[in-house]
Amino acid sequence: MTINRRALLGGIAAAPAALAMGFAGRGWAAAAEGVTAVKPVIHSFRLGNARITVLLDGHLPLGTQLFNAYDPAKAEEVLAQGLHRMQNDSLQIPVNGYLVERGDKKLLIDTGTAQLMGPGLGALGDGLAAAGVVPESIDTVLLTHIHPDHSGGLITGDGSAAFANAELVVAQREWDFWHDDAIMAGVPESSRGFFDMARRSVAPYANRLQLLQGEGEAAPGFTALELPGHTPGHTGFMLEAGGEGLLFWGDIIHSAALQFALPEWTIAFDTDPAQTVETRRKMLDRASADNLLVTGAHLDFPALGRVLRQGEAFAYQAAPWQFGL
């Protein structure tokens, strides 16, 4: 697949403006007022020969101004059919990470935000502790992409590796994008903080790094799937565990409240909006046709379910909580 450089730079350039407006209509700082540190929330279940623990890092307010071509009437119509509601012109979206245990091996998919995105986030590390897992026991970290709500937890407050013994696995295309000095120089100065954060978060793992070339095995039992658009190297992971499967699809969906019904809606942080929509529709088509069990970083906790087709749109059917018993 080709990546439209102009679209990528346009998406990155738009992101700081969106950030300046805030993830909520009244801004990040205001949204964080009175918010205490989040407590760990986890949910564990078995899938074949794997034990999976969903780790809730916290919630982000996704403001309406972050949706490209936001249509209030369409949003109101969709929201009226479900239980999600706007608060201060924003929708709360979760940030999830995943611990997968098979035998004596422990693997993480994404690492949450750590200290990068405010007091309403950063609980993934405490969630690991609640699951009885110490960071040094993590063997592998799979990254869907290098945005701060997925890679921030790779490092501690002093910039050292949070997972001292883990190999980091990420797509070559993703790594190259965030480490390309020419691309970084081509975006507004206000956008370069994204590149700085990306580079800092992965730097301690440079000597224990696996860069994925296209689709194929990412770790034992895991197949990498190329899902470009949100970022150039955005990647999903299919787990095959004793005859059962689960698709970890990263940021295919940011807002479960709106984007299943309106899959053409993109957000300011999609580096190539057109490709984002193409990739999303292909993945939703596949998930519904194959009746896949799916999970995603921004699906409502505990983030397990299936995709249903509804005409030209889709719906999400959450797995019952008893799934984990």
pLDDT at res. 191: 84
Q: Mean pLDDT throughout 160-185?
A: 97
- With a cut of 60, say whether residue 6 has pLDDT above it: no
**CA angle centred on 177, ends 92 and 167, rounded to 5°:** 80
Q: pLDDT tier at 32 (50, 70, 90 boundaries)? A: very low
- Show the tokens assigned to 22: 């805030």
pLDDT at res. 77: 97
- With a cut of 90, say whether residue 320 has pLDDT above it: no
Helices 5-21 and 192-202 pack at an angle, to 10 degrees, of 100
**CA angle centred on 56, ends 90 and 59, rounded to 5°:** 15
Sorted by where each starts, the structural domains of the chain and their CATH numbers stand as 5-27+42-324 (3.60.15.10)
Query: Could you count the other beta carbons within 10 Å of the beta carbon of residue 204?
Result: 18
d(CA 254, CA 269): 10
Q: Mean pLDDT throughout 29-43?
A: 61
Instruction: Please list the residues that pair with 192 across neighbouring strands.
Output: none
**If you count them, how many residues does the chain have?**
325
Higher local confidence (pLDDT), 32 or 84: 84
pLDDT at res. 26: 30
**What digits encode the pLDDT tens for the residues 67-125?**
999 999 999 999 999 999 999 999 999 999 999 999 999 999 999 999 888 888 999 99
Q: pLDDT tier at 323 (50, 70, 90 boundaries)? A: low
Helix (H) or strand (E) holding 106: strand 105-109
Nearest to 256 by CA among 27, 52, 83: 83
Q: Mean pLDDT throughout 129-147?
A: 98
Percent of the chain with pLDDT over 70: 87
- With a cut of 60, say whether residue 300 has pLDDT above it: yes
Q: Are 25 and 90 in contact (CB under 8 A)?
A: yes
**What digits encode the pLDDT tens for the residues 194-205?**
999 999 999 999
Q: Mean pLDDT throughout 142-153?
A: 98
- With a cut of 80, say whether residue 9 has pLDDT above it: no
**pTM score, whole prediction:** 0.90
Q: Mean pLDDT throughout 260-275?
A: 97
